[in-house]
Each structure stands twice: as structure tokens, then as C-alpha cells.
Structure 1
């Protein structure tokens, strides 16, 4: 009962202190690190209690489905200028290779290579070009998890004269003038790893916990834990330290990367850092915790039970 009471008291102390922590954004340049420090907390808890250093981020939640991820998608749209000024979705394709063509007229006539998300070539093929295909095409790449949006535009004009066929840059976009009835390839190439390396996404998403003892510089900090979205976990230091400091196995499904330090003692004090990295998404931020250890919480003294009243003789 006493141990449980101490843990409850420690958790209350942490919850009280966290809202009044000093929150700011700076760039910490020590040790060559350019992680953005998004929060700094001053936390104290009594010796013998359990301290929870709270590190949360919904941006790090791993949402890849088991049928291959649908977080990356390419859309091809067509804008027709006059007289109706209409916008039409031509097709889209997810990174798993599923391709959807919106107009039955374009079936077997319009398409993309199914390996687009492997080689970064998202170009659109149009066979038997018609005058109705004329307009401005946009190749739109979306990464829903990373919140990335990139667009490439190509203008397609149709001619009946082979002598008028040409391709040029108008200062904003490529312009293709092609012969009616021919086949055209509208270019869209983007080989950035964020669009092509789906197999390594889990390895590029990782949380690190470090600890600096008092008087130790940041670049000399000790690594405590590495946890990857793939489930791989690496813990460092002596066994007793690994047993008392941990984060939950389902951290990436909950977005909760908090570090639990059990049986808090004076040697546990120091500066703790929670590093969140998503390398290809460009997420690189850190939360810093200055942890101090107070004397043990006083134990409640129980009064001896009163003797039962004596019966008169």
C-alpha cells in the first residue's frame, strides 16, 4: 500500500508540473545536432517513486496497412480551358500499384507504368490522341502521412500537321504539340526517396532516448533506447538500467513514446532527451526533460489500535 501511494503521489506531481513547463522552440546546435527542441520540462519526483517522462506525437503514429501502404498516391488531372473551363480526374494510382481510371472512354487508352513508385517515373501515356484530350495536365503526388504535395504541369495541344509537332518550355510548364492519332508520353519524374522507398519506411522512423548526467555535455550523452516503427528495439547500458527504464512496445500505434523510470534514485537525475525522427518525411524534433530527485515521500504513521473498552466487573 505504501509503495502504491508513493507512485500515485509521483504521478500527480508530474501531471502538475508538465502544464507549467517552459515550452519553446529553438535549434540546439551542440554535438552537430540540428533537431528542433520543441519543449523543455523541469520535473522532480521523490526517490523510490515511478517517473513518467511524457513524450507524445501523433505525427509519428505508424498507420501503414497490411496490404501495402496507401499513404502515397499520384493523381493525373486535366484542366480544359474554354468554353467550359472544366477539371477532370483522369486517373490515380496508389503505391501498392492499384490504378483507377475515371472515364470509361479512357480505358485501355490512358495509363501509367505500375512500377512508378519503384523507379519514380509517373509519366502518363495517352494512345490515339484526340482533340478532346487537349488541355493542361497536372501530375499530383500526395503523401498523406508526411503531408507532402508536389505538382508537375504539362500542356497538351493537338495538331493535324506533322510539321507543327514540337515540344518546348513556356517558362512555367512543358508544352507538347502532338499529331492527332499518335501516342504521347506526358513526363512526370520524381525520384526522391520519399516517393520510391516504401520498403525502408519503417527503418527510417525511429525514437531515441538519451540521458546526460549532471555536468556532462550533450554530445557526451548516453543512449538509452532506440525503437523503430518496424518493432526493432535496442537498449543500452547495464542490465539493471535497462530493466528500470523503458517505453511501451505499442508506442508507434499510440503516438506515446514516454519513458518510464521505476524506483527513482539520486543517480537517475540528469537531462533526458526524447528524439523523434522520420528521416524521409523530414520530421526531426526533440523534447528535453530536466529530472531531479527529491527525498523519499514521508510514510504515513499509523496509530496503534485502541484497546477494546473493559467491561465493568
Structure 2
């Protein structure tokens, strides 16, 4: 007897599972619904629905034993793929995929198992919008001391909350200029702190252009805007050219004049070597003129470049150098009275004490700025070591110089 013909054995038949007619197109970072449904009501007992990538058979999401099983899905889809749970009893097994990524492109299979019945359908996601970042086709020029804007735009419909990070880097030296993360922008590099910012009101429009304030000569170079979103990254570059300002030109004139005056005075001293009074006068000009000019040049350099440590130390050095030169000069005995006594006894001491005070004050500020950026052991060690060095220097001044 044919049991199948008698109807005593229920034959397994194929469910008709439906989906959308064509491929889905959606922008990067958005949410998309992959349709999967049946026209008949199914028993919930023993119902199982699984979504897999057709190419790799990666499990995207699973419904089993009356509930979703997120622990079974691939890690890449955690918190991104979910069912409309309240619709499953009505035969709707559609999958919602959030925060769409470029690698989500492909074909997805929806398989439905119910009692002795089963069926499947395929949904395709294609043409996920790519992450495009644009900068500036031409180099950006600015004069020393000016403010400048370096362009960077995300040319897509990605929402700001889907952008994970935006990095601005200076490529020569791989220097981090600014980091945008968690809706906040900040710089940890001392060269750029308080000098760089984004245009906050423009960020929702995809504008991540960088404003660089008080441009310096050392800022010249290539800057990269690197954007991370939806598992992708893209970048654009901007070339910054820095021209000479009025301060730079005056500073250059001082430096050239200092060198030229030194050469000229050397020649005059050589030509007037037979005249002792004139020679001493020219020597004094040689001692003071180039050093004072270089002192003024470093003052301007400190103003234009904002390099406090270097400019203060160099200014003090050039300002006090004439004292040391006079102390070592062979014609020091040509001076008389208090001038001679002061030069021989106090010029060396005065230069050492003043220059040490200037140098160590600058060093102290640098050490202090570094120590507050550390936590724990380093924040204590740096100030302690600095105080020890300072005390040793004071003892040297008291017992050997004083």
C-alpha cells in the first residue's frame, strides 16, 4: 500500500516567501529594510527564520524558539541587524540593517522553516554610497601671522553622528593637528593648541574645514584630512604656502645688516690698525652693533613665530654677549676708572647670573607645562629634578661666580 497516496504521511512542500522586486539602494550610514514575508499565517511553534549572506553563508540574524538569537549572529552585525518581532506572527520576517557600510553590499538569503514547510528568497543591496572626501585643488597661501582656512568636505549624505573620527594631520613629520571624535574637536599638540578649530555650525553639512590661526613659517606644508565612517576611510590633502610678512622682512634685514656690519667693521679695523684710538672705537662698534641687531631680530622672530622659549633665551644671549666680549677683549685696559673695574670684576658675573635666570625661568615653564600633562610618578619627578638642578646652579653662583 502506498502510504503517501493514502494521505497518512504529510508531504513537505515549499513555502512561497516573497521580497522586494529589485535591488536596494541606500546611502552609507543609513538604515535599510530587507523585505521577507509570506502570505499565509504560520504556526509559531517550531518556526525558524534565518538571514545569511548568500556569498559567504555568514549568519546575519536568527529567529528561533519564539525569540531572536543575537548571540548566534556574526560579530559585524551585532546591534545593527534586527527583526520586527511584533510582525513575525503576521508572516513578516523582514530584517532592518542599521548603519549601512560599504561592505554590506551583496545578496542576502531569507530562509523560513515552519513545521514540515520551508522556503527562501534573496534580497540584494547594491550601490551603497561611497565615502568621498574633498579638499582643495590649489595650494592655499597666507602671510605669516594671518588666519587661514584649509578645506575639507564630506561629499555624501552621511549624518554627522555616523562619522566616527576626523583627523587633521601634517604629513611631513606625521603631526596630529586636530582630532574630531564624539562630537568634540581638540588638539593635543602644543604647536597647535588654541590655534586650530573647526566650524561647528558647518559640521552638520559635512564641512570639516580647519581654521589655522596666526600662521607661522613652520606651518608650511601638506595637511591631510582623514575621515572614518561606516568602516570606511577616505582622505583629502591641502597644501599650505606661507609667505613673508613685514616682520619677517624686517627680521631678515636685521640679520643681513648684522652680518654686513661685522664684515665692514673687520675691514675698517684692518685698514686703521695704525690709529689706536680709531681702532678701539671700531672694536666697540663691532662688539655692540651686530649683537644688538641680532637681539632685535630675535625679538621680532619671537613675536612672529610665537616661540617663547627660543626667542627669550636667544634675546638674552645676544643682549649680554657684549659684556663677555669686553671682558675678554685685549684692549680692556684702555678703559679707566669705574668702567674698567666694572668690566673686569662684574661683567662676567652679571652675564652668567642674568642669562642663567632667564634660561632657567624658560626651562621651568617648559618643565611645568610638561609635568601637568603627566599623572602619577612623572608629575612629581620632573619638578623635583628641576629644583635640584636649580639649587646646584645657585650654589655654583654663590661659591664660584659671586
TM range (shorter): 0.3 to 0.5
Normalised TM-score (structure 1): 0.36
Q: Which has the larger radius of gyration?
A: 2
Higher strand proportion (structure 1 or 2): 1
Structure number with the bigger relative contact order (C-alpha 8 A, sep ≥ 6) is 1
Structure 1 or 2: larger helix share? 2
